[in-house]
Structures are given as structure tokens and as C-alpha cells.
Structure 1
Amino acid sequence: MLSRAADNLYWMMRYVERAENMARMLDVTHRMSLMGADTGMNQWDAALIIAGADKPFALRGGSATPRSVIDFLAFAPDNPSSIAACLKGARENARAMRAQITNEAWESINAAWLEMRTLTLDKVEADGLRGFFDWVRDRSHLFRGVAEGTMQRGDAYRFMRLGTLIERADSTARILDVKYHILLPSPRDVGGAVDYYQWGALLRSVSSFRIYRQIYRDSITPLRVAELLILRDDMPRSLHNCFSEIVEIMQHLRVHYRRDYESVRLAERLLMKLRYGTIDEIVAKGLHEYLTEAIDQNIELGSMIAQDFMHSA
């Protein structure tokens, strides 16, 4: 596959996944902010940090209010990670790849972008923010489902999956890190109703509340949430699950192209850490330090994938 085509398909899915993750994070932040809980910092500042958009937002000036943050993370055209910018980027990459993706997949992402262009913050506030966040998530599910249900399982599909999984792993690690390291409740709230609601909201933000109940059948505890989202291979959005599929795809590409890529070796090393690690070892090292390293290594892997497969002649 041409490196340019691989790059378009890879980023098409990264943008779709990022838009969905942004909607999930904003939805949970909005619901948690309505509680007025004492978390040690502004929930909306935390949302900017999760999105990696705190510095660009600060350049605008002004405080992190619900309206200003939602506008910046959902609608701002000058924020490349906003929902609007991500859907636009996904649509532009899909348009460039009309010959590689099915008509159904193109129509799905094109319809999502056309509808997004009609939306404004005032309109979604009038209609209900929850409905907008659900719409973004549903459009992402629809596009991904149509693509997976109609596309041949060739290299085009594999690069699309790589984009989804790299972005998903990054989002899971960021959300978990911010809850542990930044949104720590005051000592009087640890183990209380507010703390329980926050952990429940985090699980719902990654569609894992019911999975947690099915596996642990007990009250929600931080260590078990961390174990679920980092080490459980049977949890669709866990780091372990993401890297299991990333390695499987990259090993196939290594055999197919008959080249020994450094990115494949890095992915295999990261998977081994997840496969044989334990939550006690992670906590002993420091969960924040572990997650920060995981985010950095995921970024490094993304850069190496681009170098190995998308920047070649």
C-alpha cells in the first residue's frame, strides 16, 4: 500500500475515535460538574488536561467555564482536537480514500460532517448537551460499524484499525491518569458517595461500568478500576486489549512487507509489559508515573508507525 494512502486511512480512524472520546469525556465532565463536588480542582480544567488542550486554551485567555471549555473542545475550528475539527479531518481523509473505502463508509462519515456543520453551541445547549454527546458517539459507532461490516480485511482495513487502537489506548490512559493524579477527592470524600460516583462516571466514560460489575461483582475500588482499564485483555478499551490487537496487526504487516520494523519490536515490548504485569507492581512503581510513561510510549509508537509505514518513498 502507498504510504500516503496508509496515512490517510490511519488518521481517518484516529480522528473518528478522538471525536468520540472527546464527546465521552465532555459528557462525564458535564455530569460530574453538576454535582458541585470538591475534587481539588476545576473539573473543566481537568477536561482540558485530559484532552491535552490546556496550553492552547490558556493562549485564548479567560477562565475554564463549562461554556468556554465545551465550545473549545467541541466546536473551535482552531483547536485541531475539537469534535468539529476531528470530524472534518476524518471526512477529508475519507474523501481522499474514496477508492479504498466502501460507499457506505464514505456516506456515513460525510453525513456526520454535514450535520456537524449545522450545529452550534447555542443550538446544542438549547436541545440538550447530553443529546449532542450521544449523537457524536453514535455517529462514530455507526461509521466504525459500517467500515468493519463492509470492508475487505486487507491492508487498508489494518491501517484503519491501527489508527483506532492507538487513539483509544491514549484516551484510556489519559482519563485514568487524570482521575488518579488530579481529581483526587478531599480526604473526607475518599470512599464516599462523591468518590464512588466519580469512579462510576469514569467507567461509564469508557463504556465499562457493566463489564466491571460482571467481572468483580463488588463495590467500585480504584485498584480494580485501574486493573480493568490497564491489564484486562477481555476489556475492549483496556491498554492490554488495544496492544494485543496492535501487535497482531503489526506482525502481519512485518511478514507481508518482509521488513523488520522497529515499531513492531516496540509494540511487542509494550504488550509484554501488559501481559505479565500486575496491578500491585504498577501501584508500587506509582500509577501516575506508569500511566505517564504509557502515554509517552504510545506517542512514540505512533511516531514510529508513521516513520516506518507512512513516510517511506
Structure 2
Amino acid sequence: MLGRTASSLFWMSRYQERAQNVARLLEVAYRGAIISHRGQEHGTHWTFALTCSGCEAEFSEKYDELGIRNLAFFLLFSKENSVSVRNSLELARNNARAVRTGITAELWEAINTTWIEFTEVNPQTITQERLPDFLAWVNQRAHLFRGALLNTVLRNDGYFFSQMGNFVERADNTARILNTQYWSLLPDSDILDDGSMEKYQWSAILRALSGRRSYRFAYPNARLKAFNIAEFLILRKEMPRSLAHCYNWIADTAEDLSQFYSSQEPSLAMAKEIAQSLSEKQMREIYQDGLHEFLADFVGRNNQFAFELSKDYNFS
């Protein structure tokens, strides 16, 4: 496979995953805005979405007021925001179009139709009342893309590069959300009462990572606890957005890719090393060494893996 084809498939999936992640952050912020939380400062929910999406500084440069209208436009429709849903969907489509003959009709239809329907939306019509339905639509379209990828694409190198892109982006999103909110996940937070601001942050983190209900299944007899939440989102492989789950997939895909090409590139060995290090970690060890330091290091290693992969397979 040509390097530029591999690159397009990798980034097609990364951008699709990113669009869904940003929409979910906005949905969490909206939910927080309509529910009162004791100890919550004004605008905390909006700040959560901006900080976790990594565009707080860019928003502050453009807007003086932090509110739902400005935030929704900035995260959904702004051409100037590199991580907006609009830009992510457009870049996903551009990458898919570059490899149009190498993907299935169902996958192309899922990507192309989403982009066409999104561009037909007038941002002014997305009022506070209509925002939840629109965010649900974005989320449903992301699931449609993922379903088309999993159910119609041959298990060859194109599929493997697409999977790499999806889980590299997902791991990055999970680690960055946890790192921006790491202070609320320190063990000392567990002694706080249930009405604390930290409890709101815990719920927001779980909702942003689609883990609020599955957390209850994983810890059926436990209330929300910082230790459990951190463990759930970092080390529990059964949680689809945990760091361990993402790198379990990446390592398996690396093995498939090495067998497909009958070669073991450095990036693939690196993927397996990261997955192995996560499988051997204990949450208490991570706390002992520093949660913030661990997460910052993981983000760097994840980025380095993506860079090494692009170098090994000549992404252009």
C-alpha cells in the first residue's frame, strides 16, 4: 500500500473519532449547564468542554463571553477552530475521498452523507432547545461510520491503518480529558462528601467518555470514587475508551499488520510495549509515581507512536 493511502485511511478514522469526541464534550457541558451543582462556579461546565478539547486559549481570543451560543458555534461550526466538528468531518471526508476506490461503498456513503447533511445545517437554527438533538445526530453518524468500517471493510492493511487511527485518537482523547481534570481524581478526593464539586467532575468525565452507566456495571456495589474512576478509564480493558483497551486493540492490530507485511517495524514493537506496560501497571503504582506525570507521559508516548508509524510506512 502506498504511504499516502495508509495516511489517508489513518487520518480518516482519527478525524471521525475526533468529531464524535468534541460533540460529546459539548453534550456534557450542556447537561451540566441545565443542572445545578453545589460548589460549582459559573461557567464551570463550559470551561470543562473547552479545556478538555484543548482550545480554551483560541476561544478566549475570539470571544469575550463564555456561554452556550458562542461555545456551540465554536466547537461545532467554526472554521477557525482546528478541532471543531465541522473541520474534523471535512478532513475525514477529504481523506476518504483520496482513497475512494479503496474503501467500501457503505463506508464512503456514511462519511459523505454526514458531511453533506452537516453543511446544510444553518448554525443559527441550532438553538439551546435543538442542540441536544443535533449532538445526538452527530453521535449517531459517528456510530454509522464505525459500523460501516467494522462490518464491510476487508481485514487487510487498509483496515489495520484505519483501526490504528481510531484508537490512537481515542487514547489521546481519554488521556487528555483525564489529565486536564487529574486534580479531581486524586485519592484525597474520595473523602469529600457527595455534594462536592469533585463529584460533578467525576460524572462529567465519565459522561464525556461514555462510561457513566458502564462504571456502575464494573463497580456494582461502589459509589463514585476517584480511585475507581481513574482505574476504570486507565487500566480496565473491558472499558472501550480506557487507555488499556485502546492499546490492546492497537497492539493486536500491530500484530496483524506485521503478519500482513511479514515485517516487524519499530512502531509496531512500540505499540506492543505500551500495551504491555499498561497491562502490568497497578493504579496505586500510578498514584505513587504521580497521576499527572503518568498521563502527560502517556500522551507523549501515544504521539510518538503515531509519528513512528507514519515514518515506518511513509505517510506523506
TM-score by length of 1: 0.91
- Equivalent residue for 1:269? 273
- Equivalent residue for 1:86? 88
- Equivalent residue for 2:25? 25
Mapping of residues 101-180 of structure 1, within 5 Å = 101-125=103-127, 127-180=129-182
Which amino acid is the alignment partner of residue 249 of structure 2? Answer: E
Structure 1 residue 205 corresponds to structure 2 residue 208: yes
Shift of 1:127: 4.9
- Equivalent residue for 1:300? 304
SS of 2:80 mapped into structure 1: coil
Shift of 1:174: 1.6
Query: What do the CA deviations read for 1:134-187 (whole angstroms, capped 9, x no partner)?
Result: 111100001110121111111111111111100011111122222333799xx8
- Equivalent residue for 2:15? 15
Structure 1 residue 229 corresponds to structure 2 residue 233: yes
Structure 1 residue 45 corresponds to structure 2 residue 47: yes
Shift of 1:197: 4.0
Equivalent-residue separation in structure 2 for 1:120 and 1:239 (angstroms): 37
Equivalent-residue separation in structure 2 for 1:237 and 1:288 (angstroms): 19
Moved more, 101-110 or 50-59: 50-59
Equivalent-residue separation in structure 1 for 2:305 and 2:56 (angstroms): 23
The 3 A distance-change label for structure 1 pair 100 and 148 is same
The 3 A distance-change label for structure 1 pair 131 and 190 is farther
CA contact (8 A) 2:175 2:299 kept: yes
Equivalent-residue separation in structure 2 for 1:69 and 1:191 (angstroms): 31
CA contact (8 A) 1:46 1:183 kept: no
Structure 1 residue 54 corresponds to structure 2 residue 56: yes
The 3 A distance-change label for structure 1 pair 191 and 262 is farther
CA contact (8 A) 1:228 1:238 kept: yes
Query: What do the CA deviations read for 1:85-122 (whole angstroms, capped 9, x no partner)?
Result: 11111111111111111111111111111111022332
The 3 A distance-change label for structure 1 pair 146 and 230 is same
CA contact (8 A) 1:166 1:302 kept: yes
Which amino acid is the alignment partner of residue 283 of structure 1? Answer: Y
CA contact (8 A) 2:157 2:260 kept: no
CA RMSD in angstroms, aligned pairs only: 2.4
The 3 A distance-change label for structure 1 pair 204 and 58 is closer
Equivalent-residue separation in structure 2 for 1:264 and 1:94 (angstroms): 24
SS of 2:126 mapped into structure 1: helix
CA contact (8 A) 2:254 2:272 kept: no
Equivalent-residue separation in structure 2 for 1:310 and 1:35 (angstroms): 49
Equivalent-residue separation in structure 2 for 1:46 and 1:206 (angstroms): 13
The alignment-based identity, stated in percent, is 37
Select the residue among 96, 99, 107 that pairs with 2:98: 96
SS of 1:113 mapped into structure 2: helix
Which amino acid is the alignment partner of residue 278 of structure 2? Answer: L
- Equivalent residue for 1:69? 71
SS of 1:125 mapped into structure 2: coil
Which amino acid is the alignment partner of residue 7 of structure 1? Answer: S
Q: How many pairs were matched up?
A: 311
Structure 2: tracts of 5 or more residues without a match: none
The 3 A distance-change label for structure 1 pair 49 and 130 is same
- Equivalent residue for 2:2? 2
Shift of 1:228: 0.6
